[in-house]
Amino acid sequence: MIMHKTIKVAAVAVSLLMGGTLVRQSNAADANEDAIKQVMKDFHKAPKGVDPICKKATEGTASMDEIKKLIASYKVLAKTKAPQGEASSWTEKTKKLIETSMALEKGGADAQAKYKEAVNCKACHSLHKPEDKK
């Protein structure tokens, strides 16, 4: 039992560390999906009453550390395969997330507005998020 738990915890840690690498392996419809969900949970969604990092980023209140993590996670996202919709659209959207979050790191006049446009939940979900899933 204890062994089992340890292995599971280790596997999660490894998958977090190597999100980008994992999704390139062939086993991995699951790892692919997990990687997308992880980004959603870590950066787009927050518990009630707490602003998600993406919202803070559009308002200019995200820390540099958070923005760096945001960029890294969008790089992982760009390597995943959309569960639904055109691959070219997914590539375009995820690339835009990388570009605009990198612009946030640099700072600049309309960086926040551009990132806000790129992180449009509905625009992406309507094309790429399967209807039948929560």
**Residue 101: which of 115, 90, 113, 80 has the closest Cα?**
115
Residue 21 C-beta: closest distance to ligand HEC, Å? 19
Residue 43 C-beta: closest distance to ligand HEC, Å? 8
Residue 2 C-beta: closest distance to ligand HEC, Å? 28
Give Cα 133 to chain centroid, integer Å. 18
**Any residues with CB less than 8 A from the CB of 54 and at least 6 apart, and which?**
43, 44, 70, 119
Judged by the rule CB under 6 A, the positions of this chain that interact with ligand HEC are 33, 36-37, 40-41, 44-45, 54, 82-83, 93-94, 119-121, 124-125, 128-130, 133-134
Which CB, 23 or 36, lies closer to ligand HEC?
A: 36
Which CB, 63 or 89, lies closer to ligand HEC?
A: 89
Which CB, 2 or 27, lies closer to ligand HEC?
A: 27
Contact 90, 82 (CB under 8 A): yes
Residue 40, both tokens: 């959603």
**Any residues with CB less than 8 A from the CB of 30 and at least 6 apart, and which?**
none
Which CB, 2 or 90, lies closer to ligand HEC?
A: 90
